[in-house]
Amino acid sequence: MKVRFPNGDEREFDNGVLLIDVAKSISEGLARNVLGAVVNGEIKGLQEPVYEDSDVKFVKFEDEEGKEIFWHTSSHLMAAAIQRLYPDTLFAIGPAIENGFYYDIDSKHQFVPEDLEQIEKKMQEIVKEGHLMIREEISRQDALALFEERKDIYKVELISEMPEDEIITIYRLGDFVDLCRGPHLYDIKKIKAFKLMSIAGAYWRGNSDNQMLQRIYGISFEKDKELKQYVNMIEEAKKRDHRKLGKELELFLLKEEGPGFPFYLPNGMIIKNALEDYWRGLHAREGYGEITTPLILNRQLWLTSGHWDHYKENMYFTQIDEEDYAIKPMNCPGSMLVYKSKPHSYRELPIRLCELGFVHRHELSGALHGLFRVRAFTQDDAHIFMLPSQIKDEIIGVMKLADEIYSAFGFKYKVAISTQPEDSMGEKEDWDKAILALKEAVETLGIEYKINEGDGAFYGPKIDIQLLDSMGRPWQCGTIQLDFQMPERFDLTYVDENGEKKRPVMLHRAIYGSLERFLGILIEHYAGNFPMWLAPVQATLIPVSMEHHYEGVKAIEEQLKSKGFRVDLDARDEKMGKKIRESQMSKIPYQLVFGDKELEENTVTVRRYGEKQTETMPLEDFIKMATEEVELKK
């Protein structure tokens, strides 16, 4: 049996060799340092065997696959500790997640935050005992007997649903035994630093008709230093929470009268309008035509688009003249009707239509989260109708536009290509062509990407763009979806150079994703300290003395407002120091102080947000500097 490595090397091993032995054949040091491997695209632990010719890449904690192995094993370590402390506990599932792990448990004991420290101490004891994660393959009959004896209804249910011929694996960690496919660490001594973060409720298998379980979340690392850095980041994230800052800065409201339906306040509308104006300017430059499509459209349209069959549970409905209608969850079907409203020639293509469309999607109340997960939002949609020969260039154009927009806000980003899901429309051949086109476009731009198998939309594959904020946290925002299905379902055509009707290809894309989610991300990215072009109030004007300087400062306020600046004259009968301090607390970019000297010499004493030192400059110079800051979006 041959094993190939990323550097091109190839070695022969006996069939069924364990990955730990493959690693040792390279070096003992490698075997000690790696956490697992990716074998023919599948993540595996070092205690797992290889039975066929394989491509093998060993992974460490810095690799996403390494983190998954590390955090999955940490969930079992936590479960083992809970079992020792509360022996009657039943365990449901305990996966690795994007930031750490959790385990869903059924226990008579009602867990509270004070219990977490006790569980952590027991986890430390188990690590010191020096256990290996033992993997065993057992028969379906033996697996059922094992977990029926333990009265573990959750594992019995999972085993009962497995195919008759599936290999069932269990993992042993000391006296803790769990049904699990893996992958896991070989040696749990690698888990040196961990912290249990929170407790929540979760229904078994996500179904509200099932038992409510207790879910304990945790995080773990190889080193204490990494854990401390993570905990510090979490504390910083709490300070940046967009719900907290949104309230403090009077940007938006979330009310019980409309759960999931945010209210924009005047300050929030300034930012939202600035985002829309910026977006409109770029799209006009790039040759997009802006449209608006109706909020409510009839059932037949949603049947044609496929949403009635594939997305109905996320939609809101009404009746008009005894006919079924739906509030749009997406803008694309409206764009279809716009394209179809007149005949098109191949010479017109590509046709680029953009829309800041207001959509509604039903989200479960437990999933709602500030502006990040809402039921009503504005999507910065665009739909490009094109010839098959134009696909690559149009995707490249969209990627370049997205890069320009994200760069303006200081975001870096990661790219993934999501492939055909199980519940999809269309022929596999069309899907394969679409996926290949996305890959070629991204590779032409020299952008690294990963593949998300089966995570595409039901009508086509997509490019997903994850933004990385100032704290390095990932946020899913942009998406570019290539669609061969909608043009077919809506019978969209163009006339080619031979006078024959042909089917256009279609691109769906959003760059902000939704304005609500993007605003929430911006609030946390900037910690509420918006750049001047976005700040609701760009400068506070502060007279040293209300009695002697108010009139002069009032005239300067009017001058600045006439030039388009958003300024606020603080005319309260308070001390100057208090006014400066409160302006800083409100995260206003500039405090402008005017006394006798400033008004006589037409200068201003400037203090930037977050700085203690001040600078006196001609008022004209400040206006020039501020204008440049706004225009260049510094």
**What are the residue numbers of the active site?**
332, 361, 379, 381, 383, 462, 508
Q: What is the DSSP string of 368-426?
A: -BTTTB-SEEEEEEEEEEE-GGGHHHHHHHHHHHHHHHHHHTT-EEEEEEE---SS--S
Asked if 469 contacts 414 with a C-beta cutoff of 8 angstroms, the reply is: no
CA atoms within 13 A on the CB side of 465: 27
Q: 240-273 b/e with 16+ CB inside 10 Å = b? A: bebbebbeebebbebeeeeebebebbebbebbbe
Helix, coil or strand: residue 454 = coil
Asked if 183 contacts 216 with a C-beta cutoff of 8 angstroms, the reply is: no
Q: Tokens 């490698």 sit at which residue?
A: 30
Q: Which of 280, 305, 310 is nearest to 292 (CA)?
A: 280
Q: Which of 512, 577, 2 is nearest to 276 (CA)?
A: 512
The two most distant CA atoms of the chain are separated, in Å, by: 93
Question: Residues 552, 558, 562, CA angle at the centre, nearest 5°?
Answer: 145
The residues facing 96 across adjacent strands are 101
Q: What is the DSSP string of 540-606?
A: EEEES-HHHHHHHHHHHHHHHHHTT--EEE--SSS-HHHHHHHHHHTT-SEEEEE-HHHHHHTEEEE
Beta strands 590-594 and 505-510 are: unpaired
Q: Which of 96, 86, 111 is nearest to 180 (CA)?
A: 96
Q: Which of 306, 360, 363, 361 is nearest to 333 (CA)?
A: 306
Q: Which of 314, 292, 288 is nearest to 302 (CA)?
A: 314
In angstroms, the CA 458 to CA 5 distance is 35
Q: Which two tokens stand for residue 487?
A: 């043009």
C-alpha distances in angstroms, 354 versus 20, 188, 368, 390, 502? Answer: 54, 53, 27, 18, 23
